[in-house]
Structures are given as structure tokens and as C-alpha cells.
Amino acid sequence: MDRAWIDGRPAAEADALAAAAELLERSRQPFVGGLRTDVSGIRAALGLARRIGAIVDHGESDAIYPLLTALRDGGAFLGAPAEMKRRADRVLVLGDEVAKVAPDLLAMLTETEPDLGVRTRGDAREFRSLCRAPLDSAGRGRAEHVDCAPEDIVDVVGLVRAKLSGRRAGEGAVGGDAVAGLAEFLKGAGFAAVVFAPAELGALGTEQVFGLVSDLNETTRASTLPVSASTNAMGAALQGAWTSGFPLRVGFGRGAAEHDAALFSARRQLSGDGEADLALIVDALAEPGAGGPPCALPQIAVTSEPGAVEGARVTFAVGAAGCDHDAVFYDARFGSFVGRPADAKSELPTAAAILDALADRLGGRVADAA
Amino acid sequence: MLTRLKGGHVVDPANNRNGVGDVFVSDGVVVDAPTDAKAPDETIDCTGLVVMAGAIDIHSHIAGGHVNTARLLLPEWHRAFSARPGETALSKVGWTTEETGLRYAEMGFTMVVEPAMAPSSALHAHLELADTPIIDKATLVVLGNDDLMMSMIRDGESETAIADYVAWTVAASRALGVKCINAGGSAAFKENVRKFDFDDVVPDYGVSSRQIVKTLQKAVTGLGIPHPLHVHCNNLGVPGAASDSIAATIRAAEGDPLHLAHIQFYGYGDEGKRRFSSRAQALADLVNATPEVTVDIGQVMFGQTVTISSDELRQFAGSKQASPKKSVIFDHEANGGGVVPMDYKARSFFNALQWAIGLELFLLIEDPSRVFFTTDHPNGAPFTAYPDVFALLMDRGVRAKWLDALPSSVKKMTQLPELEREYTLEEIAVMTRAAPARLLGTPDRGHLGAGAGADIAVYRPNDDKAAMFGKAAYVLKDGVVVVKDGTVVRRTLGRAVTLRPEPDKAMKTRLDRYFDERYGVSSRWFEVPEGALRRDDPFEVVPCRA
Ligand SMILES: [Zn+2]
């Protein structure tokens, strides 16, 4: 089985490493992206990026940046899914993305009942949805649906906040009664959970949701469950934070990590309009991705897909993390990192091994951190 | 290979050494002077320098979910965090695992304890620690606000069953000890309780904070876990109530070991026209009179920082004072927590008195082996402020200078100007070396006797104690020179020191079912598999007491 290709033709791994290293060496500004891999793969990618002065972003970080931006602009209230399962007696679902990107989470909430808390346990969980499509099921619980266009959701949340604070709230897109009903629903909760997709509501909409929950916590208890289409991007951003100080979108071009959420985004860099002139793309998970931005740059591919990546100057075949080799991933349900043993160990190298091998060959470019 | 640290002033109170002499190192371990005339392979001339064991920080929030959230919350702070921005190439790296390890090492610290690891965040914490270079690490795992512990107490389960649960948690999370944070208070906050005292009961469980602390203390002692139960008391920072809570908790030690964390935040009375006063004297008296307790201070220093705590109730309350105005409040399983930025200002009466209370406690607690050197990093101040804290403890003149700059209203409320004590080098070595090693149950650390790990810090004496302790002349980690003249010259990887009690099989089966049925998660996810860290030798296991 071929494991490496140069310009689409099978090559020995050593030759491919030499060819990739040469491309990286000659690049004025390399970009390291994709990052669909496990913790050890991302550690290696960040290490390589630091060594070669690359710009780094995850291919799917558009899915998480609205959350990160809102959090660092105004703070957040964040719940763990497992705790909300046991604690939340009332759940507000904002937007239609939730059912698309986190059906498991919704199922967990609809199929169970809260069993902790004097005010919250024992009764069936109640649901409100503010979106287009009503919830599929609310188990034993009562579910009421407020039909709302995606572009109106954030406004309605603002009206609910006004209503809760006793300010005059207009009719808005859903009418005053619906707004009053949502306000009552939340205010009367023992513990309310607001489930939403920050990518759908945007950074400002996400701030509005955190503001709502902050208001609620003045008198009762509430938290949120933000969901995203890319758990993998969230894990990479967390790892980027401890490794470089920033949740990716960093450049190591001047040695120390510099962060710019707009300038260093994968979308901008891969379009060819950014500073990067070469992309190293890691795509080494068994599950299909949410889809990253298209790549208009010459590419080095590190992939668990069979065969050479079309158009790539160099391709390395690697194992799929958690499938071909043991791996550690961020897990959205758990809200932290978990180990996942391999389904069946294969002989394929890990993405980390290829990236480390490249870093070793490029050792001279930028001195080690210390 | 034999290394000789030649002719330094060796300060090693664990071995009653305080004078000029040599220290020999072979294969990463301190050895006796060779009896034959064998020439050392390497000689480090320590003439005129002070030689100590590497320092140990028993309470510093350096890794895990909450710490990492602080990084996300405060991207603007990464430059500000560095003590001397721009001076070294690393000052721009930011508040990272990398920088944490290097900066600690430059000051002569060779082991740091992350004191608040949630069981669900154990793998995350260890991943960060595995990326933290040079220093050794350890963690304390947090229990006491968890449904299972409170249910077991309520249901009158046996001490054995509770100890089995604690042992499983310590083993799975690879911790070195157990911490309890606002026992019952975080759980009560989830029930919308806003104030929680030591004898208040958690709604729905009917279990008091006192019961939780006593139960955990008994389990920890019974399991032979060397580090006593590490307690973060109720009512942190609340004038009056804080000092009542810590006094009640200390009295509840009842002859068994107990460690009280960051007690500065509990030294607060509500006297005076601002209803904020120092109760340091009373608290220090109580600590002095209670030999079974140990404490660390959590010294406040002025400047921007961020508070990181699993005390969700108090962090929510504190979020009203956030500066800048943003914070993150977590409703996780068990403890939850909060990240709240804080800007301690010298011209603020409250912040200045907090600073003074911390120093009063340091100086009024008599036994340096029972009071530990912490800023509760980053809650009172980032650890990069340590050199200044050393100077304040060792030099009255420095204290006087700092006091001069404070509002006069503060000077009336503190006895700090009258406190003449200056910590000696030997007392510093006790507080930051010998005593922490004993407290953590790591006998081959914190001293320079034969058989100790060759973690050694060498300082250049200076009347300016901040300069002396800010940049070690040499640091050896496992016998390898890693720092010269305050700069890292070799980047090694330390290990996480853990206990590994054998978990009871029946308890494991019970927990498999409990986590699956109640939370819908796998008990396996709480485990830190050795291979997951992808390091050659990530752990060092130390035994429980027999
Ligand atoms: Zn702490």
C-alpha cells in the first residue's frame, strides 16, 4: 500500500519528507491548518508551526469563533451537558442549528428527567423552542414552540430581557404574548438551560444570550449549553490556548505567538489573499468533517483518506485518530478531553509522527523555545 | 557522572545544614561526598552563593479547564502577565504551559502543585502539565460538592465505602491529594442558595459543610494519603463571615491533619467605618495554637490578575467586582466554578488591607513549617510576583517602603508597621523546601541529603532579595543544569507525581453504573490513561502511608 506521494505519484516516505521539508523551507509564509486530528497531532502541528514560523488555524474554527469572541468580549455562563441533564427543569432551545449539530444532546435532554435539586427534580422537563422547526419530541415533558425566523431570534432574546427587567418591550417578530411567555418560562425555572448554536446567532447574538442568563441569575439559576458543528475545532482551540496563549489563528512568523482572529483565519489564508504561500493541511479523523474553506495554495496533505490528495504537491497517508491508533479528543458531551482507544490498530503512521519528522528536518529554521 | 557544587553556603534545614560546604550529585541524585579521592566530572563553583533544594509550590493554579478558560477570557492579558515584558524572547509567548514551566524554573522552583483538578477535567489538566517543561507537577483532585459524596453521607454509607470512592477518584485522576472547595456551597448555589456557612446544610441532601469536611478528612487520613485534606473554606472574602468560617473549620480539625488554603482571604473582619478590617492576629493565634493544621497564605500583590476558583458561589458573587467587567461562571458537575478578572490597586483601601493582612499572617504565624508561601496564583497575584513577596518577608525596610505608598486609612487598620520579624534564609528554606516536601509526602524532595533527587537551586546573595530570588544563579533538575544566571539553558520535561491507590473492584463496578445511569457518561472518561500523554515517563508514583 502506498503511503506517500509526490505530485500524485507514489514515493518513498523519506523522499516525500524531504520534498515537503524543502517546500516548507522555501515558503516565505507557511500555513498549518485543517488540524482534524487528535491532541498529539495538534501538539505536533503547533510545535512544527512554531519551528517554521507558520500561521495556524483549524479548518472548522468558523464554527466556534462566535462563541470565543462573545466570551472574551463579555464573559459567559457555561453548563456541562451531564449536569444540565440532571439539573435543568426547563430548557429553551434557540435556533434550528441545535437540532442539526447536536441531536444527541437534545435527545439526552428530552429522554431524561432532572433528578437533582429540591426545585428541579421529579418533574418532567419542560421545553420551549424559538426557531422554525418544532422539537421532534419532548419525551414526557411539555414542549411549546414559538415560530421565529433565524434573523429575529436575537431580537426576541433582547425583548425577553427587557420584559424580565420590567422595561417596556415591543411586540417584536413573535408578539408580546410570546415574549411574556418566554420570560415567565425562564423566570419560573428552578434551573434553566439555554441551548443554542453560537455560529447561528453570531458573536453579538451569543453575547445577548449570555446577558439573558446573567440577568436570570440575579434571582434564579440558569446556564447555557452552546453547541457547535465542530467539537474537534473546539478541542484544538483549547489546546492552542494552553500552548500558545491563544485559541489558534496565531502566527509564529516573528517568533512569539501573535493572535489575530481576522488576519490569521484559515479562510483568509487559504484563499490566497493572505500572507501564506503554502499550506500544510492535516485531515486525519475517521468521521467526515464539517468542511473547511477551499485551498487555493500549493498544498502538503497529511490525510487518513486513501490515496494522494488531488493537486497536493506532497501527500502523506496517516492513520485516523481514534480508529487506527489510540487518541485523545475533546468531547462535547463530557465537556473535556477523553481517551479513545483504537478500533483496530493499523501500521499507518500517526499524523503526529509525520509532523514531528518534518519538524526534525526543519530544526535549523527557528531556534527552540529555550 | 559526578557533579560537585563546590563551596556554597548550603541551607538545608531538613538535614540541619546551614554553612559553607559541598553538595555532590550523581545520576540525578544527591550523594555523600566520595570517600576516595575521585575527581568530579563536573564542578560548579558555588563560592559566595547560596545552595538550597529546589523550591516547591503547594498551591498554584497552573493547569486545567478553568485556567485555560482564563486564557480564553483574557487574550489581552498575555503580554501584561510577563514580569518584565520585552526583556526576554519568551516574554511574548504568553501565559502558556511553556512559560509556566520556564518561569518557575528560573526562580529555582522545581515542583508545583495544581490544587483544583475536577475529576472530569483530570485528563485535560494532565495534558497541560505534560506540556509544562522542566518542573515536576502534582494535582489535588476536588471532591465534596459531588452528588455521590453527599448522597453517601446522607445515606449513612460506611467509612470504607466512602474511602473506596475517594481512592478510586485519586487513582483515576492521578492525583497526589484531595481538595475540598466550599464544601456543599457550590452544590447549594445550584439550588439558588447565596450564602453558605460551615453548619448550613445542602438542600435536598441535608448534609452540612462540616460533615463533608470531616468525612473527607477521615477518608484521606484512613487511606494514608500523605497530604492532609486541603480545604478551601466557606465564605471566602466575606468580611466577618470569612473569619468565622475558617475559625470553625480549624477547630473542626480535632487533632487530625488538615490544610487550610489561601487563608489571607479569610483574615477579614467587618470592623471600622468601611466594615473591613484585619483579623490576622486572631487567625494567626488560632493557627499557632492548633498544631495539626497547616496553612498557605494566598498573598495579594497589586496589579491586574484573574481569579480562578471552583468555588462557584463566591466567584458568582465576586463577578460583580470583575475588572475588566467580564467573567465566566461554570455550572459543571459537582463544583462548577468561575473565572473573574481582578485588578488589585494599591490606592484601594480594601486591596491594600488585603495585602497587609497576608503579610501579617506570614509574620504572625510562628512556625515556618506550617505556613506556606503562595499567592494562590493567579488569585492573589501571578507567581511572577514571588521575588517581591520574598523581599517583603525578609526585609522590614522593603515593607516600610511599600507601606508608605498606601492610603493612610490602611495604616491605621494594620499592625504591619510594628512587626519586626524578618524571615531568615533558613526559614525560607523550611517554608519553601523542607516543609512542602513533608506536607506532600515526597521524601526525596525538599532537601539535599543523600538519596534526595538532585533538584537544586543556587542563588547569588543580594541585599535586594527580589533580585536574589527572581533569577537563580543555577538550577539543577534531576542533576542536570537547566538554568544559568536566571535563564533557562536546557529544556527538560519533568513528571507528574501521583499516588496510585488500588481501587476497590466493587466500587469500580458501582461507579461504572453510577456515571452511566445518572450522568450518561462513561467512568472511563475520568481516567488518565498513561499512554494518553505521549511522553516517555510522565508519572512518578509515590506510596500512600501504610
Ligand atoms: Zn487556589
How many Å apart are CA A166 and CA B105, to the nearest integer? Answer: 55
pLDDT at B503: 86
pLDDT digits (tens, 9 = 90+) for B310-359: 999 999 999 999 999 999 999 999 989 999 999 999 999 999 999 999 99
Say if CB A318 and CB A351 are below 8 A apart: yes
Residue B505 has pLDDT above 90, yes or no: yes
Chain B contact set for A328 (CB, 8 A): 123, 127, 532
- % of residues, chain A, pLDDT over 70: 98
- Shortest CA gap B172–chain A (Å): 13
Determine contact: A25 vs chain B, CB below 8 A. no
Cis ω before B115 (30° cut-off from 0)? no
Read off φ and ψ for residue B186, nearest 5 degrees: -65, -40
- From first CA to last CA, the distance across chain B in angstroms is 35
pLDDT digits (tens, 9 = 90+) for A195-239: 999 999 999 999 999 999 999 999 999 999 999 999 999 999 999
Among A185, A99, A276, A75, residue whose Cα is nearest residue B72: A75
Distances (CA, A) of A240 to A50, A195, B94: 12, 26, 12
pLDDT at A140: 80
How many Å apart are CA B304 and CA A235, to the nearest integer? Answer: 28
Question: Residue B93 and residue A256: Cβ atoms within 8 Å?
Answer: yes
Residue A184 has pLDDT above 80, yes or no: yes
Cell output for A343: 478500533
pLDDT at A141: 82
Q: Residue B330 is inside which H or E element, if any?
A: strand B328-331
How many Å apart are CA A66 and CA A203, to the nearest integer? Answer: 4
Q: Is the pTM of this model over 0.95?
A: yes
pLDDT at A59: 97
Determine contact: B189 vs chain A, CB below 8 A. yes
How many Å apart are CA A80 and CA A58, to the nearest integer? Answer: 24
Residue pointed to by grid coordinates 536574589 = B468
How many Å apart are CA B114 and CA B263, to the nearest integer? Answer: 17
Say if CB A87 and CB A120 are below 8 A apart: yes
Sorted by where each starts, the structural domains of chain B and their CATH numbers stand as 52-497 (3.20.20.140)
Distances (CA, A) of B145 to A17, A78, B140, B185, B308: 52, 18, 15, 7, 17
Dmax (CA) of chain A: 71
Q: Give B229's DSSP letter.
A: P
Cis ω before B34 (30° cut-off from 0)? no
Question: Residue B518 and residue A74: Cβ atoms within 8 Å?
Answer: no
The residues, any chain, with a CB within 8 Å of residue A2's CB and separated by 6 or more, are: A10, A307, A317
Among B69, B318, B343, B330, residue whose Cα is nearest residue A210: B330
Q: Return the amino acid letter for B188.
A: A
pLDDT at A155: 97
Q: Give A5's DSSP letter.
A: E
pLDDT digits (tens, 9 = 90+) for A307-327: 999 999 999 999 999 999 999
| CB burial of residue B151 (10 Å; 0-12, 13-18, 19+) | middle
Provide mean pLDDT across the span B495-521. 96
Chain A contact set for B74 (CB, 8 A): 72
- Shortest CA gap A6–chain B (Å): 30
The residues, any chain, with a CB within 8 Å of residue A127's CB and separated by 6 or more, are: A90, A91, A92, A93, A109, A110, A135, A138, A141, A142, A143, A144
Dist. CA A283 → ligand 1 center (Å)? 39
Dist. CA B400 → ligand 1 center (Å)? 28
pLDDT digits (tens, 9 = 90+) for B406-429: 999 999 999 999 999 999 999 999
pLDDT digits (tens, 9 = 90+) for B471-489: 999 999 999 999 999 999 9
Secondary structure E strands in A64-219:
76-79, 90-94, 126-131, 143-147, 191-196
pLDDT at B425: 98
| CB burial of residue A293 (10 Å; 0-12, 13-18, 19+) | middle
Confidence band for A138, pLDDT divided at 50, 70 and 90: confident
The verdict on ipTM greater than 0.95 is: yes
How many Å apart are CA A39 and CA A232, to the nearest integer? Answer: 10
pLDDT at A366: 41
pLDDT at B530: 84
Say if CB B227 and CB B217 are below 8 A apart: no
Say if CB B60 and CB B383 are below 8 A apart: yes
Question: Residue B98 and residue A75: Cβ atoms within 8 Å?
Answer: no
Q: Return the amino acid letter for A38.
A: D
Ligand 1 ion: residues within 5 Å (CB): B 376
pLDDT at A136: 87
pLDDT digits (tens, 9 = 90+) for B368-412: 999 999 999 999 999 999 999 999 999 999 999 999 999 999 999
The residues, any chain, with a CB within 8 Å of residue B287's CB and separated by 6 or more, are: B250, B260, B263, B293, B295, B365, B370, B371
| 62-101 of A, contacting B, C-beta below 8 A | 68, 71-80, 82-87
Cell output for B156: 449513612
Provide mean pLDDT across the span A314-342. 96
- Could you tell me where the DSSP H helices lie in B432-515? 435-440, 465-470, 505-514
Q: Is B402 left (phi over 0), alpha (psi -120 to 50) or beta?
A: alpha
User: In chain B, which residue's Cα lies nearest the Cα of A234?
Assistant: B72
Say if CB B116 and CB B177 are below 8 A apart: no
Q: Report the relative pairing of strands B337-344 and B371-372 from DSSP bridges.
A: unpaired
Say if CB B217 and CB B229 are below 8 A apart: yes
pLDDT at A195: 98
Dist. CA A175 → ligand 1 center (Å)? 48
* Neighbour tally for A222: CB within 10 Å: 25
Read off φ and ψ for residue A161, nearest 5 degrees: -60, -45
Sorted by where each starts, the structural domains of chain A and their CATH numbers stand as 4-63+231-369 (3.40.50.740), 66-226 (3.40.228.10)
Determine contact: A202 vs chain B, CB below 8 A. no
Read off φ and ψ for residue A302, nearest 5 degrees: -120, 105
Confidence band for B89, pLDDT divided at 50, 70 and 90: very low
Dist. CA B299 → ligand 1 center (Å)? 11
pLDDT digits (tens, 9 = 90+) for B189-229: 999 999 999 999 999 999 999 999 999 999 999 999 999 99
Q: Residue A107 is inside which H or E element, if any?
A: helix A103-111
pLDDT at B79: 59
Nearest neighbour of A241 by CB, restricted to B71, B326, B529:
B71
pLDDT at B336: 92
DSSP code per residue over A183-220? HHHHHT-SEEEEEE-HHHHHHHHHHHHHHHHHHHTTTS
Residue pointed to by grid coordinates 516547591 = B56
pLDDT at B90: 37
How many Å apart are CA B525 and CA B119, to the nearest integer? Answer: 9
How many Å apart are CA A335 and CA B176, to the nearest integer? Answer: 23
Cell output for B499: 499516588
pLDDT at A171: 86
Cell output for B67: 485556567
pLDDT digits (tens, 9 = 90+) for B35-44: 887 889 999 9
Provide mean pLDDT across the span A68-90. 97
Cell output for A199: 455560529
Confidence band for B78, pLDDT divided at 50, 70 and 90: low
- % of residues, chain B, pLDDT over 70: 97
Q: How many CB pairs under 8 A join A and B?
A: 181
pLDDT digits (tens, 9 = 90+) for B240-266: 999 999 999 999 999 999 999 999 999
pLDDT at B284: 98
